[in-house]
Every structure is written in structure tokens, then in C-alpha cells.
Structure 1
């Protein structure tokens, strides 16, 4: 779903900072989940009235889409960061190790925010539009990991992508439940060893 973009009346300009509004909404959705954040609360937090809210974002799901876009384009895109940090060096298992280690470092609660917005914001949500947005991003993330694994182990890529994405989902959920970096790092290392064994197995 794409946010509706209504034209502003000629001669008038928005009285609020849209980028800052998206950043604020992203943090609220991340901290509490999509369903727990209402339009009235968003309007209060963003300092805008309902007409301005709907003119700018179309709907709550439209604002959520903007928040997700900002999130995945930043440092929260863990696999993309791990891949970029490899600078063309290291095998697939090394990049996956780096991905899991980075998740263990970023997911624990800081300033009231924990886990991954994409993985957890719509968990058990009743909103089909919001769920569709996160589902599309999850599929894209898994596809990127699978295709990367397939460069070395095409016949194992599907199963190993499932291993990595399931592990990351579990780490995100555990972080939201209070797991600290040390706990998640130990788990990440275990999954990394399992991944490498599967890569090397005949």
C-alpha cells in the first residue's frame, strides 16, 4: 500500500516537519508495535490535527509505510550493513556471522526501543495493510540472504536462509522480552557455528 499524497492548497505550506514526524512515528511504532499506537496519539505526538495528518500521510498505514522505509534505509538494515562491511572479502559464513553479531548488538533495548521494527511491529496485528507492509519487507530480506548464500551453496540456500531469518526473528523477540547483548551474542555464535557446519556438510 502506498501512502496517499494529497496536494496542499495553493499558497499554503505545512506547518510541521514531515521528516521529523516520520522519525517520531518510527520510534513510537518500534517501541510499542503498530496496533498500540493510535491516530489520536500520533496527532498529539506530531503536533498536528487529523486533517493535516491525513493530508500528509493518507492513513495510519501510510505513515507506517513511510516509517518502515526510513528504518530499512538506515543502519537497521543489518544484512546490507554486514555485506557492505565485508568490502568483497570473506566467505558467505563470515558475512552471516557478521550479520548475526550485528543483530545481537543492535536488538537489545536502548532508550525504550528493542528488537527490529520490521520483524516485530505487526506481530499479532489485526491490520491487514500494516501486516502486508512488513511481510513484503521480510520476504525481500529473506530473498537477499538466500540469493547471497546461493553464490556458494545454491542447493542449501533455501534451508540456510530459513535458519538465519528464523534466528534473527527469535533474537528480536527475545530482545523485546529483555534479553541483553551478552545473551544474544552467545546465541548468535551458536547459530553461526551451525550455519558453517551446514555449509561444509556433504
Structure 2
């Protein structure tokens, strides 16, 4: 018995784009946007440049997809932590402790992909990372504003600045224990600034 299967035109893709995004995210996270070249990515994925450009359009296109992937898989789950049934200071302290744990989890790629991306040299990549940073800051600001409207801006700035510092220190090699000390000190400051 024979079957007549219709073959799609062109060559089949030799790689899974979603898996490619996850691989690229690891490279961008470990080395930063500026230090990763298209040649690095195509070599890691085992594809040629035309396949790369057909799938992602550009290095920036792949980087943006990597940032999206990070927010779904590696970023701090703000919605799970910033619950309305928790005291605000307690929830924000939990965010900082979770940041410390996650930022130190992978020694080869310390810190936060988004926060580190806001410091890259490429303006378009920096702007792409800032979109994700602003979304996280807006989530924190809205959470604080629901119960402490007058403090929302300054508390959001404090949390964001602390997270940036934790990311930078993790990138510099600080281990989880040291990062948690900083996160817990910041939690004490939050408890004093936002009494329950």
C-alpha cells in the first residue's frame, strides 16, 4: 500500500524556533546583548544566517523574543507575590528575596536579563529591555498605590533601585546568601516606610 503525502514547498526548518529563543536567551543572559553576535547564535543553533534572518528578522528581533521568553520563564512572578491579601511591605520584601534567589541561581548568567539589558550599548536593545522594566515597575506601582497612593512612586523607585543593585551584584559574582542579606535589609526599610 502506498500513500501520497503532500510535501510542503521549500526546505523544512531544521530547528525549533521556540527552542532557539530559549538557547539565545541563555547566551544573551550570560554575555549581554552587545557581546553576542549573529554568528554566535547561528553556531549555537546549528543554522545558517539566512535561516536565522528568516526566522527572527534580526538580532534585535531574537533579543526581543528572548526578553518575552524570560518574562514567562525566568522573571519574578509578580502576580503571584503581590497579592491583595498580603501587607504591601511584606509582599515587596518577598519580591526582593525572590529576586536575590533568582539572580544568583545561575552563576554563568547572574542577574536579571531585563535589568542588565537596560545597560547595553545598543540603543534599540536597551529600549526593548526598558519596555519590560517599565511593565514590572508599573505592576509594583499599581500594587502599592492601591493601599498607599502617596508612597507609590518613591516605594517603586526604591524597589526598582534595589533590584537593579541585586542584579548588578549577582552579575559581579555575589552569591545568594549575600544578596539575601541586602534584600532583607531593604525589607526592613519597606516595613518602616509602609506600616501595616
TM-score of the pair, normalised by structure 2: 0.90
Q: 1:104-123 counterparts in 2 under 5 A?
A: 104-108=100-104, 110=106, 112-123=108-119
Q: Measure, in 1, the Cα distance between the counterparts of 2:96 and 2:157.
A: 13
2:105–2:176 contact (8 Å) kept in structure 1: no
Q: Which among 82, 88, 93 is matched to residue 92 of structure 1?
A: 88
Which whole-Å deviations, capped at 9, do the CAs of 1:152-182 have from their partners, x for residues lacking one? 1001100000000000000000001011111
Q: Measure, in 2, the Cα distance between the counterparts of 1:68 and 1:28.
A: 12
Shift of 1:110: 2.1
Q: Measure, in 2, the Cα distance between the counterparts of 1:81 and 1:106.
A: 15
Q: Which among 103, 127, 130 is matched to residue 135 of structure 1?
A: 130
TM-score of the pair, normalised by structure 1: 0.88
Larger Rg: 2
Q: Measure, in 2, the Cα distance between the counterparts of 1:95 and 1:184.
A: 17
Give the corresponding residue for 2:4: none
1:32–1:121 contact (8 Å) kept in structure 2: no
CA-based RMSD of the aligned residues comes to 1.7
Equivalent pairs counted in the alignment come to: 189
1:34–1:122 contact (8 Å) kept in structure 2: no
Show structure 1 runs of 4+ deviating over 6 A.
Answer: none
Q: Measure, in 1, the Cα distance between the counterparts of 2:64 and 2:140.
A: 22
Which whole-Å deviations, capped at 9, do the CAs of 1:63-84 have from their partners, x for residues lacking one? 001111010012423423423x
Q: 1:6-25 counterparts in 2 under 5 A?
A: 10-25=9-24
